[in-house]
Amino acid sequence: MGRSPCCDETGLKKGPWTPEEDQKLVKHIQKHGHGSWRALPKLAGLNRCGKSCRLRWTNYLRPDIKRGKFSEEEEQTILNLHSVLGNKWSAIASHLPGRTDNEIKNFWNTHLKKKLIQMGFDPMTHRPRTDIFSSLPNLIALANLKELIDHHSLEEHALRLQTEAAQMAKLQYLQYLFPPQPPASSNIATSSNQINNIGTFSDIEAFNLLNSLASLKDSPSVSSLSQLDLSASSLQGINDSIPFSHLPDLQIPCNYQAPPPKGMVQASEFTVFSQGGNSPISPFQFASSSTPFPPSVAPPVTQISSMVNSLGDASSNSSYGEEAPSVWHDLLEDPMFHDIA
């Protein structure tokens, strides 16, 4: 690839700019504009490459540059934009008048990123770190000590993420406790299951599905999940209304294998596969996927809790089997499940 030599050319100065050089550059641009950056150094009488001149101007000498500490509003804006845009510093900078992409990038790398890491959040995804169980104590401590956080805006952001963390943790704990099970021997789904391999749907939709399953439990009209319309087209409408749905999804083929007895919901009905992969993903791997989880569709903690409660009730009153009630009971009794709320 024919890359331009730029500063590699011999004789061109590198390193920090002197006040004299700054003055020359500013005077020239004020008088003539920058025009071609490549040609500028000669015209301005500078022994620098055009690239160096452009950087010096855009990051330091431009008259509209705001210097000094970032305000809380700016900090919050950066956090919010970064959670959506990622490391698109120029795009983020366009929302912060007077701030350069370089300045924002430095501020992120030296301040915000570290703070998020310390709080147990992945600075790239803005979600709880992948080792969710090991970071839970930190999150709990954070909840108890949140009043000690000195930066207001960061606190708000952290609390929002923390709520998501608790929700994710519970859901992961559910998956952890109820790993995928092999289909029952009397598996009518294998021959007539209309939703086996229905295509793929995202984790977002999986969570929606979990929610809807909980609410469907008591519906007499639904005796089997196989009656649900889970076609790709029906899911499309859901997807369209979901924030962040434009972002790449972790593809999760629905591996529903057996209809639950008597309209009950079975957490283990969901086997999560990586895109194109053959082996299931563990809850930990699932949590570590880079798929952003939109806060707006996360099931509220109370909803998960009531879901688990209702599942427990349902299983104790049905032909689910001997093991199920104790499993639900174990979950509900587990202090960890309650503590993380």
Task: Indicate the residue among 106 and 192 with the shorter CB distance to DNA.
Answer: 106
Q: Does residue 90 touch DNA according to CB under 7 A?
A: yes
- Exactly one of 41, 83, 89, 252 binds DNA (CB under 7 A); that residue is 89
Please report, in angstroms and rounded to a whole number, the separation of the first and last CA atoms in the chain: 55
Task: Indicate the residue among 8 and 334 with the shorter CB distance to DNA.
Answer: 8
Q: Does residue 19 touch DNA according to CB under 7 A?
A: no
In sequence order, the β-bridge partners of residue 122 are: 127
Q: Does residue 2 touch DNA according to CB under 7 A?
A: yes
- The C-alpha atoms of residue 323 and residue 246 are separated, in whole angstroms, by 41
Task: Indicate the residue among 114 and 338 with the shorter CB distance to DNA.
Answer: 114
Closest distance between DNA and the C-beta of residue 286, in Å?
Answer: 24
Task: Give Cα 329 to chain centroid, integer Å.
Answer: 32
SS3 content of the chain, % helix, strand, coil (to 5): 55, 5, 40
- Indicate the DSSP class of residue 27: H
- Residues in contact with DNA, shown as a per-residue x/- string from 106 to 145 under the rule CB under 7 A: xx-xxx--x-------------------------------
Q: Does residue 105 touch DNA according to CB under 7 A?
A: yes
Task: Indicate the residue among 87 and 296 with the shorter CB distance to DNA.
Answer: 87
* Binding piece for DNA, criterion CB under 7 A, among 99-107, 184-192, 213-221, 231-239: 99-107
Q: Does residue 201 touch DNA according to CB under 7 A?
A: no
Residues 6+ apart with CB under 8 A from 291: 202, 203, 247, 248, 249, 250
Residues 6+ apart with CB under 8 A from 177: 267, 327, 330, 331
- The C-alpha atoms of residue 323 and residue 320 are separated, in whole angstroms, by 8
- The C-alpha atoms of residue 18 and residue 52 are separated, in whole angstroms, by 13
In this structure, are residues 170 and 163 in contact, taking their beta carbons and an 8 Å threshold? no
Q: Does residue 50 touch DNA according to CB under 7 A?
A: yes
One DSSP character per residue, 85-132 reads H-S-HHHHHTTSTT--HHHHHHHIIIIIHHHHHHTTEETTTTEE-SSH
Q: Does residue 25 touch DNA according to CB under 7 A?
A: no
* Binding piece for DNA, criterion CB under 7 A, among 85-93, 166-174, 208-216, 240-248: 85-93
Closest distance between DNA and the C-beta of residue 287, in Å?
Answer: 22
Task: Indicate the residue among 16 and 182 with the shorter CB distance to DNA.
Answer: 16
Q: Does residue 7 touch DNA according to CB under 7 A?
A: yes
Q: Which residues bind DNA (CB under 7 A)?
A: 1-4, 6-8, 13-17, 35-38, 50-52, 54-56, 59-60, 87-91, 101-103, 105-107, 109-111, 114
